[in-house]
Amino acid sequence: MDDLYREVIIERYKNPVYKGELDPCDIRFEDENPLCGDHIRIDLRVDGQGNVSEAAFSGHGCAISQASADLLLESIQGKSLDEVKQLNKEDVLDLIGIELGPVRLKCALLSLKVLKAGVYGVGGSSESLVEGA
Amino acid sequence: MPNQFRADFPVLSREVRKGVPLVYLDSTATSQKPQSVIEAMDRYYQAHNANIHRGVHTLAEEATAMYEGARERIASFIGAASSREVIYTRNTTESINLVAFSWGRKFLKPGDTVILTEMEHHSNLVPWQMLAAELNVRLEFIPVDANYLLDLNVYADLLKLGPKLVSFTHMSNVLGTINPARQIIEMAHQAGALTLVDGAQSVPHFKVNVAELGADFMAFSAHKMLGPTGIGILWGKENLLESMPPFLGGGDMIKKVLLRSFQANDLPHKFEAGTPAIAEAIGFGAAVDYLNQAGMDRIEAHEREITGYALERLAEIPGLSVYGPALEHKGGVVAFTMENVHPHDVAQILDTEGVAVRAGHHCAMPLHQKLNLPATTRASFYLYSTQEEVDRLAAGLGSVIKMFG
């Protein structure tokens, strides 16, 4: 348990840094994990060079899904959209630093799925963008 | 007083991890199995394995007798008039699909109404939604009121629509609400509707007699009542089952087959195409024997006591909300949420202390939408549950608060 609920997970869940909404924003996408009822929306602002200048997420979910969303958005600050497109499952697992079974993996990867679907601009068919999510 | 049943269930003595004994509070999803059920299935494979019906050799006769003997005992367990009314299916879900497919397609016409409730499991929603889309049948729902009971005044109004069928759960797998089945059935019959009782949660936990209920159909599963997965029952009144066309076609459900036509078999075989789950039926029979010996009244009383104790213990936990009716209307299911902690996190932390509960929407998404909850955590009890296990649950919830508080 101590592994699964590392201090950073609990801390980010309780006090997320990137929770909120950006209005207006350049990219907005939302999706849910129907199994848990978790729901995440990500808003991005992109500067003239195509880099992420601001990011925020909203919605609700378990500690794993919320903390990984917060850590994920922190990691893409200032990154180009091309770099964001390259993010994968391992990057998120590195960020949260825990091993997850298949059920909780979906919680951790929901935000990545939403982010990539938003950046690729493909509503509704985001399943194929993140392996395992 | 130590629980006299626990020793009969091998899995209950295991540790989830070294030094962490199992506390199994997920019997509503599936029950554990006593040694007698495991042995009955084992014995069939070790000594009697053969396909049933028509075989003339000794093993085939033995297998047939075991398979049909189980049906007889299941029939008498639910008070069926005859074992011809007891159809083996895969589970409750398949039983309901059988009625929707066979009875529904023959007897429902566009514009006809079927009444369901807001607290149904997906298995008693989706088959009717599929039928409604195909036949343009109208679905109406008895609402759940603020006390987590069905609103029978609204039901009385809905009956004025002249529904053909009222299909409802006897006991909610989330709220634990035990619905007044006799009254619901009587009201339906007065309005000229037939009734289907989803007995998946009721038949395992208290005495259910189809004749006393006056029901027309009832569906339930073995695996929630100490038996194996992969086998369930559709019980129906004989004249209704006689009037219905077969469900699946194939071997065993026929009397005679020509190249271009067939003659359906008699009940109950008419609805049992192909080689069935023979060992599972035999295991189901052993499960019913176990329940009879334990006594359904005693099981019901035990679960009420444990549930009452659980409600007391959970009421002591700050920020915890329970969803369900007062104890007098409730079976051994307790769904709850904790302030600021997601149900999945609750379940995960409990698991680390060996406590197995379920988290999610429990296959009742519309009910959760009604309650405005994305998910709940659910603890559920059976004859082998103990107060000590409830104490372990409460202690685990204390850990959740410590971690997230």
Range of the domain at B373: 6-32+296-404
State which of B262, B293, B324 marks the end of a domain: B293
pLDDT value at A102 more than 60: yes
The answer to whether A104 contacts chain B (CB < 8 Å) is yes
Contacts A60 to B, Cβ<8 Å: 342, 374
Same-domain status, B70 and B140: yes
Give the gap in angstroms from C-alpha A37 to the nearest C-alpha of chain B: 5
Same-domain status, B382 and B361: yes
For position B219, which CATH number holds? 3.40.640.10
State which of B293, B314, B334 marks the end of a domain: B293
Cross-chain CB nearest to B360 (options A13, A14, A35):
A35
Q: Are A61 and B342 within 8 A, CB to CB?
A: yes
B343-352 and A102-120 are packed helices; what angle lies between their axes, rounded to 10 degrees?
150
What CA–CA distance (Å, rounded) separates B167 from B169? 7
Q: Are B368 and A37 within 8 A, CB to CB?
A: yes
Q: Are B342 and A63 within 8 A, CB to CB?
A: yes
- Residue A126 carries which DSSP code? G
Same-domain status, B120 and B153: yes
Chosen for mutation from A39, A62, A98 (greatest number of chain B CBs closer than 10 Å) is A62
Strand partners, B197: B168, B218
Same-domain status, B223 and B317: no
The answer to whether A1 contacts chain B (CB < 8 Å) is yes
**B1 within a domain of the structure (yes/no):** no
Q: Structure tokens of A99?
A: 């091993």
Res A129: pLDDT: 66
CB B169 within 8 A of CB B117: yes
Domains: count for chain B: 2
- Strand extents, DSSP E, B67-176: 86-89, 113-117, 138-142, 165-169
Q: Are A38 and B404 within 8 A, CB to CB?
A: no
**B63 within a domain of the structure (yes/no):** yes
Q: Structure tokens of B112?
A: 């006809």
Tell how many helices (H) and how many strands (E) occur in chain A. 5, 3
Local confidence pLDDT in tens for the 405 residues of chain B: 679 999 999 999 999 999 999 999 999 999 999 999 999 999 999 999 999 998 889 999 999 999 999 999 999 999 999 999 999 999 999 999 999 999 999 999 999 999 999 999 999 999 999 999 999 999 999 999 999 999 999 999 999 999 999 999 999 999 999 999 999 999 999 999 999 999 999 999 999 999 999 999 999 999 999 999 999 999 999 999 999 999 999 988 999 999 999 999 999 999 999 999 999 999 999 999 999 999 999 999 999 999 999 999 999 999 999 999 999 999 999 999 999 999 999 999 999 999 999 999 999 999 999 999 989 999 999 999 999 999 999 999 999 999 998
**B209 within a domain of the structure (yes/no):** yes
Same-domain status, B94 and B22: no
CATH number of A7-121: 3.90.1010.10
> How would you list the strands of the sheet with A52-60, edge to edge?
A27-33, A38-46, A52-60
Which residues of B are marked as active site? 363
Res B2: pLDDT: 79
State which of B293, B325, B359 marks the end of a domain: B293
Same-domain status, B262 and B307: no
**B341 within a domain of the structure (yes/no):** yes
- Strand extents, DSSP E, B350-391: 355-356, 358-360, 376-380
